[in-house]
Homo-oligomer: A and B are copies of this chain.
Amino acid sequence: MKHPNKHDLLVLLTEFENACRKADLKVTHQRLEIFRELAQAHDHPSAEMLYNRIIKRLPTISLDTVYRTLATLEKHGLITRVQTLESQARFEAEMIRHHHAVCRKCGAITDFSWNTFDEVQVPAELSGWGRITKRNAILEGICNDCVKGN
């Protein structure tokens, strides 16, 4: 999972505008900035982290707007809320299937793809469970920075 370059980001933002219009969401300055910031982030930021980054460019934005916008975009499937053990929710704009390695020490979330896992068949035990729409692997451990930094 690499950062989007300047061109990619423009494409993403255009797609985002179109998706908003399709979903009857107004394309506001705030929504664009929140989405842009999240799309170029690589660290699965929390609402507060995004707020602190965006306020530098958009000094009047409110934390409430960031929370509200993230909830709206999540509801419309434009961004994802990431499961963590932390108290603050974290988000990402990367919608391509991928998985997470999480550092128990510093909380860093690293993206990776894992085709082998994506293709493993779900156990029979679960055949009667219901309708499965998503599968994710979460690896937990201590990242290299934290191992060294000890």
Stretch in A30-38, A46-54, A126-134 touching the partner: A126-134
A128 to B134, CA, bound (A): 27
Interface size in chain A (residues, C-beta < 8 A): 41
Contact at B132–A123, with CB atoms within 8 Å?
A: no
Residues in chain B near residue A139, CB distance under 8 A: 122, 126, 129, 132, 134-135
Contact at A123–B112, with CB atoms within 8 Å?
A: yes
Contact at B123–A133, with CB atoms within 8 Å?
A: no
User: Which residue of the partner chain B has the closest CB to A1?
Assistant: B125
Contact at B103–A113, with CB atoms within 8 Å?
A: no
**Known pairs A130-B146, A132-B101; A138 contacts B138 (CB<8 A):** yes
Contact at B129–A140, with CB atoms within 8 Å?
A: no
User: Which residue of the partner chain B has the closest CB to A114?
Assistant: B123
User: Which residue of the partner chain B has the closest CB to A135?
Assistant: B139
Contact at A101–B129, with CB atoms within 8 Å?
A: yes
Contact at A141–B132, with CB atoms within 8 Å?
A: yes
Q: Distance (Å) between the CB of A118 and the closest chain B CB?
A: 10
Residues in chain B near residue A126, CB distance under 8 A: 101, 110, 112, 139
Contact at B136–A140, with CB atoms within 8 Å?
A: yes
Name 27 A/B residue pairs within 8 A (Cβ), A-sorted.
Answer: A83-B83, A83-B85, A83-B138, A101-B126, A103-B130, A104-B133, A112-B125, A113-B123, A114-B120, A114-B123, A116-B120, A116-B121, A120-B120, A126-B139, A130-B143, A130-B144, A130-B146, A130-B147, A131-B141, A132-B139, A132-B140, A135-B137, A135-B138, A135-B139, A136-B137, A136-B138, A138-B138
